[in-house]
Structures are given as structure tokens and as C-alpha cells.
A and B are shown apart, each in its own frame.
Chain A
Amino acid sequence: MAPGAPSSSPSPFLAVLLFSSLVPSPVQAIVVYTDRVVHGAVGSRVTLHCSFWSSEWVSDDISFTWRYQPEGGRDAISIFHYAKGQPYIDEVGTFKERIQWVGDPRWKDGSIIIHNLDYSDNGTFTCDVKNPPDIVGKTSQVTLYVFEKVPTRYGLVLGAVIGGVLGVVLLLLLLFYLVRYCWLRRQAALQRRLSAMEKGKFHKSAKDSKRGRQTPVLYAMLDHSRSTKAASEKKSKGLGESRKDKK
């Protein structure tokens, strides 16, 4: 696909629309669209797109014709023909075994694929569409350049770098905020639990204090009783002793 093709293809379309709206009598004309320039690598394949715009319905008698004019050559030869629902590959030229029909007339598509590209394939390919009764119209041409290594399209690296870096930065920022948000939420939850625990501790301690006080009281009483016992024993002992002493 050539960089200029997408921008250039609507303009003839618009021109035709304008033209047909300006001219009172209905002018039947078929408009064929192809890329302007196609690049291909040696040994690889390339798809030559061809579509058209017609005022008529797509008829059964639709026909596509691809012609090829070598670079610097004078005469164009027909290399491919599609008619009555059948693709015909012309038996002349260097393309006879390398063309594949991939179009579909129902989708207004007359594309072909050329396999196993060679440097000698450089040239102009012309797509011609006849959609009876709509047969008057211009053909469209696409120029094929075969390279050892296909040059990258302008803007591809540019866009990739800008988009990639911006995407990564955005992602990191998002991740950072997500982690911070989660952390803050966890922290808040922890805080809440902590404060709840603190409150619960108060409650518990309040409850516990009763029990806690009870048990110590019990213990204390026990202790007290023990101590009193001991004291009494002591007392009694002391008494006894004293008694003994007295004796």
C-alpha cells in the first residue's frame, strides 16, 4: 500500500460525486481504484488490490482485466482476465504460473496476488473493470517496485516509538497509582482494624477486667485465705509456741 493511496482515492470519488450531481443527465461511469505504488521483496508475494465504484448493481457479466507494462516497455500485455465467474490467466508473459485470483466480484474486489517476485517484475499494472451496462470509465494503475529488502513505510517507526513509549509511561503511571491506591486502602483497612481492635480491647478489657478482677479477687481471696490460714496457723503455731513458751 502506498502512503499516498488512501488520501488520493477519495478525491476522485468525491469528484465523481460532485460531477454527477452537477451534471443533470445521469452519467454512467465506472471508477476503478488501486494503490499508486506497491513495494515487494524479491521472492515474496504481493497483493495488487483493485476495487471499483459503479452506479449499477454488480452484474453477472462483470469482468476484470489486469494488464502489465514492464518498466521502460512500450506495450502492455494482458496477464489476467476474469469473466463470467471464471478467472483466466493468460498463457503469455512471465506471470502465467505466479498469479492467483483472490478477488470477489460481490465485494467489488478484483485483487490478484503475484507470487515469487523478481526484479524483472518492476512495472505498471493496470486494472480495468467492466460492469455492463456500466462499461465507460477510466482504468487505474499501480506501479510495482521490487526490492531486496522492502523499505519501511514512513511513519511506521515514528508512530511505533511514540506510541510505545507513551503507552509504557501511561501503563507505569497507571500501575503506580493502582499499587498506591491498593496500598492506601490496605493501610486504611489496617488502620480501621487497628482502631477497632483498640476499641475492642477496651471493650474486652472492660469485660476482662470484670473477669480479671474476679479471678484475682478469687486468687486474692485464696491467697488471702491461704495467708490467713498461714497466718492463723502461724498464729496458732505462734499461739502454741507461745503456749509452749508459756508452758
Chain B
Amino acid sequence: MLLLLLGIIILHVAVLVLLFVSTIVSQWLVGHGYATDLWQNCSVSTTSNVHHCFFSSANEWLQSVQATMILSVIFSVLSLFLFFCQLFTLTKGGRFYITGVFQILAGLCVMSAASIFTVRHPEWHLNSDYSYGFAYILAWVAFPLALLSGVIYVILRKRE
């Protein structure tokens, strides 16, 4: 039982870390000498080896990607908090519904962020020479994990 609890918490924390990293790290799109994320475009000039970062555009779709990523982080943090609350307050045999619902919401948010980014990024990212960076992949990895941990929360019953 303790092992299961530990496993769930580790899974949740892993999801949180993935969400944070994919939100913050500037590696959503990488190309020759530059990398962009949701917040800024950074380029490394090969001659002087200087990092230049500019703010990303104010494109509406990019903003909604940012918003959904932030929302997923918020929901996941809230879910972890609620899990600890429910761990001590829930009656025996009760289910972690609220925790699970928030975690599933976090998963859906990160999914919508990644899919909006996938579909709409040519609108603000005009350079055609690119490949997806690891932060983008982490966002996609975070989606099933968050969903899985949310479903586990919903299925789980509390034991004494």
C-alpha cells in the first residue's frame, strides 16, 4: 500500500516536472543556430557566439498555447495539493475524485497546448528549417502520464 502511494506521488511529481520543463525550456522548435519556445526566440550567432533572445510574437494562438501550458501546471499543482488534503480528510473507502479530475484537466490542457502548437506554429514561426525540440516532446509525454495518474486517482480507493 505504501509502495503504491509512493509510486503515485512519484508519478505526479514526474508529470509536474515534465510540465514545468516543457513550459520553461526554450526548446520547442530548434533549427540551425536558434531555438524557440513559447516565450522567446533565441539565436546564437556563429561568428561571435552571442546569445540573442527576443520576445515571441503576440500571436493569439501562441498566447493560447502559453495559457493552456500555464493552466496545466496550475491544475497539476492544485491536484497534488488536493491529493494531500484528501489523503488526510477522505473517509475510508472514498475515492480521490477531485484530485483525479484536476489531474485529468491538466492532461487535457497540455494536450490542447501541444496540439495547438503543432497545428498553428507556422503562423508565427516563419523559418521553415526547423525540427521539434525536446520540450515539445516532453509536453506530449506529459499528456498520457497526467491522464494516467488522473485515472489512477479516480480508480483508487483510500484505505486506512
A153 and B60 CA atoms in complex are apart in Å by: 9
A-B pair number, CB within 8 angstroms = 39
Chain A 145-188 residues near chain B, CB threshold 8 A: 151-162, 165-166, 169, 173
Chain B 43-85 residues near chain A, CB threshold 8 A: 58, 60, 63-64, 66-68, 70-71, 74-75
A161 and B74 CA atoms in complex are apart in Å by: 13
* Range class of the A interface residue count: 10 to 19
B147 at interface (Cβ–Cβ under 8 A)? no
Chain A 116-152 residues near chain B, CB threshold 8 A: 151-152
- With a cutoff of 8 Å between Cβ atoms, the chain B residues found around residue A153 in the complex are 58
- Majority secondary structure of chain B interface residues (helix, strand, loop or mixed): helix
- With a cutoff of 8 Å between Cβ atoms, the chain B residues found around residue A155 in the complex are 58, 63
B29 at interface (Cβ–Cβ under 8 A)? no
Query: B71–A154 contact, CB under 8 A?
Result: no
Closest-CB distance, A7 to chain B (whole angstroms): 15
- With a cutoff of 8 Å between Cβ atoms, the chain B residues found around residue A161 in the complex are 63-64, 67-68, 71
A173 and B102 CA atoms in complex are apart in Å by: 11
B30 at interface (Cβ–Cβ under 8 A)? no
* Range class of the B interface residue count: 10 to 19
Query: A157–B67 contact, CB under 8 A?
Result: yes
* From B63, B66, B70, B98, residue with most partner A Cβ within 10 Å: B63
B18 at interface (Cβ–Cβ under 8 A)? no
B145 at interface (Cβ–Cβ under 8 A)? no
A13 and B63 CA atoms in complex are apart in Å by: 33
Query: B105–A157 contact, CB under 8 A?
Result: no
Closest-CB distance, B33 to chain A (whole angstroms): 26
Closest chain A residue, CB of each to CB of B55: A154
A-B contact pairs, 22 of them (CB 8 A): A152-B60, A152-B63, A153-B58, A154-B63, A156-B63, A157-B60, A157-B67, A158-B63, A158-B70, A159-B67, A160-B67, A161-B68, A161-B71, A162-B70, A162-B74, A165-B67, A165-B71, A165-B109, A166-B71, A166-B74, A169-B75, A173-B98
Q: A153-B58, A162-B71 are in contact. List 7 more A-B contacts (CB 8 A).
A: A151-B58, A152-B63, A159-B67, A161-B71, A165-B67, A165-B71, A165-B109
